[in-house]
């Protein structure tokens, strides 16, 4: 078997094992939370018989390991069970599938992440290449200072600052990103600009600095010096010689930040009241809707593991020692 294929299969197996362990942690952590959903819904005045009947209706009377395997078996086929929200003991008509609740929210989160990636990735690569091209110049120092300043602040602080200046003092963008299924594409983009700019300012520093560091590290290589001795311009040296060989660490950091865009949008979604998976998860934690919380956490974990796995595979494929084994 080719070393690249063998290593990729090993990473895939490790990713699936990691996801299995994470699913156990997610399920166990929610079981050990204090309090009880049935008691919280029915109130303290409910009789033990009523609470027991309601728990049986929800399936909470089964042993934990049986509930886990039932949940895991359903999750493998996209069935995360039914939501607890709207149920108050016998109100079967209010039952909703967790997948139906998550599907539109997941689309909103992926839309915001894709919109941010379209802005942040080209911007970070451009700034990183220019910072390496004009190393130690005023431009390099200004870009580093600006990006380090934005990354040093938490997301909610950056969000509120942008909201203050771009929505309150200067009515450029709406302060709340309240979109729906019927919102036109152009209007959706306009309403998502503030959360997208917030996420861009938070993640662009990592990608820019990694691009700059990877290119500068390669500028001391013998083949780069040979290209410079041949009279190749500094721009062509960086773009055509250094950048292609610096893709492995750059792709890694891009994949990590894309994973953050999907997983770490919870705070930004809450600040801008954006109807994504993060906002749904926060609301479900408040209402103790355990199936929805479990599904959101598992989706976040799977996305993060998948994108990290993608970064590992890209690093493996771009490794000449594995591509051309002796």
The per-residue pLDDT for range 140-176, each reduced to its tens digit, is 899 888 888 888 888 888 889 999 999 888 888 888 8
Note the helical H segments in 77-230. 98-133, 138-152, 155-163, 185-191, 193-218, 222-229
Instruction: Answer yes or no: is pLDDT of 196 > 50.
Output: yes
* Residues 6 or more apart in contact with residue 97 via CB below 8 angstroms: 79, 80, 81, 82, 83
Q: Are residues 211 and 250 in contact, defined by beta-carbon separation less than 8 angstroms?
A: yes
pLDDT at 321: 60
Instruction: Please give the residue that has the higher pLDDT: either 244 or 215.
Output: 215
247-263 and 290-317 are packed helices; what angle lies between their axes, rounded to 10 degrees?
A: 170
The per-residue pLDDT for range 224-275, each reduced to its tens digit, is 788 878 888 877 877 777 777 777 778 778 888 888 887 778 888 888 989 9
pLDDT at 92: 47
b/e burial code for range 99-130 (CB count within 10 A of at least 16 → b): bebbeebbebbebbbebbbebbbeebbebbbb
Of 67, 83, 111, 110, the C-alpha closest to 306 is 110
pLDDT at 67: 84
The residue range of the domain holding 232 is: 104-277
Asked whether residue 26 is domain-assigned, the answer is: no
Q: Are residues 74 and 298 in contact, defined by beta-carbon separation less than 8 angstroms?
A: no
Asked whether residue 1 is domain-assigned, the answer is: no
pLDDT at 35: 64
CA quadruple 296, 156, 283, 116: dihedral sign:
negative
Instruction: Answer yes or no: is pLDDT of 297 > 70.
Output: yes
pLDDT at 206: 82
Instruction: Answer yes or no: is pLDDT of 197 > 80.
Output: yes
Instruction: Answer yes or no: is pLDDT of 84 > 80.
Output: no
Which residues are registered as beta bridge partners of 82?
Answer: 97
Q: What is the mean pLDDT of the chain?
A: 82
Angstrom CA distances, 152 to 157, 198, 206, stand at 10, 13, 11
Q: Where residue 145 sits, what CATH number does that domain have?
A: 1.10.3720.10
pLDDT at 323: 60
Asked whether residue 87 is domain-assigned, the answer is: no
Q: Are residues 277 and 99 in contact, defined by beta-carbon separation less than 8 angstroms?
A: no
CA quadruple 228, 232, 234, 236: dihedral sign:
negative
Asked whether residue 319 is domain-assigned, the answer is: no
Asked whether residue 205 is domain-assigned, the answer is: yes
Asked whether residue 255 is domain-assigned, the answer is: yes
pLDDT at 88: 54
pLDDT at 189: 92
φ/ψ of 211, rounded to 5, equals: -60, -45
Instruction: Please give the residue that has the higher pLDDT: either 84 or 12.
Output: 12
Global confidence as pTM: 0.82
The per-residue pLDDT for range 18-59, each reduced to its tens digit, is 989 999 998 888 777 666 666 666 666 677 777 778 777 777
pLDDT at 1: 67
The token pair at 82 is 């039914």
- Structural domains in the chain (count): 1
Asked whether residue 289 is domain-assigned, the answer is: no
Asked whether residue 158 is domain-assigned, the answer is: yes
The per-residue pLDDT for range 266-296, each reduced to its tens digit, is 888 888 989 989 888 888 887 778 888 889 9
Burial class of residue 30, CB neighbours in 10 A (0-12, 13-18, 19+): middle
Please state the length of the chain.
326
């Amino acid at each position: 078997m080719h070393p690249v294929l063998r290593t990729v299969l090993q990473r895939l197996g490790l990713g699936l094992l990691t996801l299995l362990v994470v699913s156990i942690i997610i399920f166990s952590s929610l079981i050990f939370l204090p309090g009880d959903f049935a008691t919280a819904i029915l109130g303290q005045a409910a009789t033990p018989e009523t609470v027991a009947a309601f728990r049986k209706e929800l399936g909470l009377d089964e042993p934990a390991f049986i509930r886990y395997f039932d949940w895991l078996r359903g999750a493998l086929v996209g069935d995360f069970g039914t939501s607890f929200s709207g149920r108050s003991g016998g109100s079967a008509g209010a039952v909703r599938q967790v997948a139906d609740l998550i599907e539109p929210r997941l689309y909103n989160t992926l839309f915001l992440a894709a919109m941010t990636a379209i802005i942040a990735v080209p911007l970070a690569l451009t700034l990183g290449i220019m910072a390496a091209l004009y190393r130690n110049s005023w431009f390099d120092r200004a870009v580093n200072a600006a990006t380090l300043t934005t990354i040093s602040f938490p997301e909610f602080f950056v969000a509120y600052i942008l909201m203050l200046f771009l929505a309150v003092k200067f009515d450029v963008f709406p302060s709340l990103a309240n979109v729906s299924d019927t919102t036109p594409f152009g209007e959706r983009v306009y309403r998502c600009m503030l959360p997208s700019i917030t996420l861009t300012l938070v993640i662009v520093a990592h990608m820019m600095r990694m691009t700059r560091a990877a290119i500068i590290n390669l500028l001391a290589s013998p083949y780069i010096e040979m290209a410079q001795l041949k009279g190749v311009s500094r721009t062509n040296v960086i773009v055509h010689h250094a950048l292609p060989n610096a893709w492995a660490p750059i792709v890694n950091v891009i994949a990590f930040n894309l994973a953050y865009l999907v997983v770490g949008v919870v705070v930004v979604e809450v600040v801008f009241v954006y109807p994504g998976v993060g906002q749904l998860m926060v609301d479900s934690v408040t209402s103790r809707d355990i199936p929805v919380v479990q599904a959101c956490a598992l989706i976040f974990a799977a996305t993060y593991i998948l994108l990290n796995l993608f970064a590992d595979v890209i690093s493996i494929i771009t490794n000449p020692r594995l591509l051309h084994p002796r």
